């Protein structure tokens, strides 16, 4: 018997299925995830640490690729976790992936530094991983992309995400590509940055540009649900799916809501985009982690929203709304 069959749930008699279905409500027994060994990249990050916990709780053995041992935090107490050190651009990645049935690639950066460019990390890193996965016979490849990924008239971030998608689509491995909007929840860098600005800037609350840019932020727990299901949900196979939350909000509404939850009563002040761009250009020439980049400003102006219907249909989820999720997090 193959090792994967050993891990598969035992078949259930139909009467038991009916009984259990009504007893546990919404969960269909036919859709319980089959356990599979997952190679997870980006496990030390915001989304990655949440997904790692979920995969282990679901009973999947996980092999996590991290750049620094210890970076993936806890998890071993939750299940079968193996840590391997490496970079997504490392040669010989196949030996690290060998023995895994599925790959989930979450590696990403939000600003470039020296040789850590969007093209290198997103596109060439994904290409390296796809080649490794194909070499060792991986049977599922789940790729983290981003809403707005496209080849033309796009930021370097979105172009590199699209190029990475193309590597996955042409891999000849059954794939799923997920494209989230802004992701929020405990540990979200974008939310933390807005909280810091609201708290630390004296007297006023700066808001970039007009603040009328539209988003559908998605809660990290909903993102994790879609990734976990993508390992085995046949409806997701060979689909590129936008991941968005229940509520469309403008940047003004996002910052107002954060201030309200934190009981901050400062007047919002709109900083004109040309001034923001000047600040971003200045930060780009000093060797520090930039608080804002020109690419981020471009993405902000573009907004990030889409129709939630395909995601809701494929994954059968009702995503959390931004206000509801934020209140829960900050209250
Ligand atoms: N957060 C959002 O709002 C959002 C929205 C849409 C799409 N996404 C995408 O979602 C993914 C995860 O985002 P996140 O917010 O969780 O970001 P994050 O917290 O910065 O995590 C990024 C992960 O990528 C790893 N990584 C970076 N470069 C690497 C390399 N060369 N080799 C191996 N690992 C590398 C990091 O490892 P280290 O710990 O070693 O740095 C970290 O584990 C990214 O692909 C991002 O583009 C995020």
> In whole angstroms, what is the distance from residue 318 CA to residue 157 CA?
29
- Answer whether residue 260 is part of any domain: yes
Q: Do 138 and 265 fall into the same domain? A: no
At residue 34, what are phi and psi to the nearest 5 degrees?
Answer: -75, 135
For residue 14, the model assigns a pLDDT of 37
Position in ligand 1 atom list of the atom nearest CA 147: 6
Asked whether the predicted pLDDT for residue 67 surpasses 70, the reply is yes
For the chain, the average pLDDT equals 90
pLDDT digits (tens, 9 = 90+) for 227-266: 999 999 999 999 999 999 999 999 999 999 999 999 999 9
- Does residue 42's CB lie within 6 angstroms of at least one atom of ligand 1? yes
- Does residue 46's CB lie within 6 angstroms of at least one atom of ligand 1? yes
Q: Do 175 and 197 fall into the same domain? A: no
Q: Do 205 and 152 fall into the same domain? A: no
Among 1-5, 48-52, 73-77, the minimum mean pLDDT is found in: 1-5
- Average pLDDT, stretch 177-195? 97
- Spell out a b/e string for 38-56, using b for 16 or more CB atoms within 10 Å of the CB, else e: bbbbbbbbbbbbbbbbbbb
Q: Do 170 and 47 fall into the same domain? A: yes
CA atoms within 13 Å, Cβ hemisphere of 218:
29
- Does residue 121's CB lie within 6 angstroms of at least one atom of ligand 1? yes
- Answer whether residue 236 is part of any domain: no
Confidence of residue 126 (pLDDT cuts 50, 70, 90): very high
For residue 78, the model assigns a pLDDT of 83
pLDDT digits (tens, 9 = 90+) for 134-182: 999 999 999 999 999 999 999 999 999 999 999 999 999 999 999 999 9
Q: Do 329 and 188 fall into the same domain? A: yes
pLDDT digits (tens, 9 = 90+) for 259-306: 999 999 999 999 999 999 999 999 999 988 899 999 999 999 999 999
- Does residue 89's CB lie within 6 angstroms of at least one atom of ligand 1? yes
Which of 304, 8, 317, 22 minimizes the C-alpha distance to 149?
A: 304
pLDDT digits (tens, 9 = 90+) for 32-57: 568 999 999 999 999 999 999 999 99
Q: H helices within 170-213, ranges in order?
A: 189-200
The domain total for the chain is 2
For residue 10, the model assigns a pLDDT of 38
- Does residue 128's CB lie within 6 angstroms of at least one atom of ligand 1? no
Q: Do 156 and 39 fall into the same domain? A: yes
- Does residue 126's CB lie within 6 angstroms of at least one atom of ligand 1? no
Confidence of residue 223 (pLDDT cuts 50, 70, 90): very high
Q: Do 261 and 209 fall into the same domain? A: yes
- Provide CB contacts within 8 A for 58, sequence distance 6+: 33, 35, 228
Helix (H) or strand (E) holding 6: helix 3-7
Query: Do the Cβ atoms of 241 and 177 come closer than 8 Å?
Result: yes
Q: Do 188 and 168 fall into the same domain? A: no
Q: Is pTM beyond 0.85 here?
A: yes
For residue 31, the model assigns a pLDDT of 52
Position in ligand 1 atom list of the atom nearest CA 125: 31
Q: Do 281 and 202 fall into the same domain? A: yes
For residue 252, the model assigns a pLDDT of 98
For residue 7, the model assigns a pLDDT of 36
> In whole angstroms, what is the distance from residue 304 CA to residue 189 CA?
16
Confidence of residue 85 (pLDDT cuts 50, 70, 90): very high
Structural domain that includes position 147: 32-180
- Answer whether residue 142 is part of any domain: yes
Q: For residue 290, list its beta bridge partners.
A: none
- Average pLDDT, stretch 196-204? 96
Q: Do 128 and 266 fall into the same domain? A: no
State how far the alpha carbon of 87 is from the alpha carbons of 2, 94, 100, 105, 253, in Å. 31, 12, 17, 12, 38
CATH of residue 198's domain is: 3.90.25.10
């Amino acid at each position: 018997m193959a090792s994967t069959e050993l891990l598969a749930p035992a078949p259930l008699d139909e009467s038991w299925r009916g009984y259990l279905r009504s007893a546990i409500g919404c969960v269909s027994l036919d859709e319980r995830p089959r356990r599979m060994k997952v190679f997870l990249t980006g496990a030390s990050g915001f989304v990655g640490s949440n997904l790692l916990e979920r995969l282990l709780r679901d009973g999947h053995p996980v092999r996590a690729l991290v750049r620094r041992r210890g970076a993936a935090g806890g998890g071993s107490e939750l299940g079968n976790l193996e840590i391997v050190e490496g970079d997504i651009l490392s040669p010989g990645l196949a030996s690290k992936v060998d023995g895994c049935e599925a790959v989930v690639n979450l590696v990403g950066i939000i600003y470039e530094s020296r040789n850590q460019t969007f093209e290198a990390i997103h596109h060439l890193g994904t290409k390296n991983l796809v080649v490794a996965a194909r070499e060792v016979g991986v049977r599922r490849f789940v790729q983290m992309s981003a809403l707005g990924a496209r080849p033309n008239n796009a930021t370097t971030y979105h172009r590199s995400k699209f190029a990475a998608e193309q590597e996955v689509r042409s891999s000849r491995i059954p794939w799923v590509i997920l494209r989230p909007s802004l992701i929020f929840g405990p540990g979200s860098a974008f939310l933390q940055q807005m909280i810091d600005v609201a708290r630390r800037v004296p007297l006023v609350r700066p808001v970039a540009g007009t603040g009328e840019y539209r988003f559908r932020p998605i809660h990290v727990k909903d993102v994790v649900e879609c990734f976990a299901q993508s390992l085995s949900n046949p409806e997701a196979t060979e689909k590129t799916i936008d991941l968005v939350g229940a509520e469309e909000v403008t940047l003004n509404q996002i910052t107002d809501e954060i201030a309200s939850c934190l009981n901050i009563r400062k007047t919002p002040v709109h900083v004109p985009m040309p001034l923001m761009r000047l600040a971003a250009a200045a930060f780009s020439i000093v060797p520090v982690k930039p608080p804002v980049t020109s690419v981020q400003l471009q993405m902000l102006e573009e907004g990030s929203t889409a129709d939630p219907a395909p995601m809701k249909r494929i994954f059968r989820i009702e995503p959390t709304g931004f206000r509801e999720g934020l209140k829960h997090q900050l209250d």
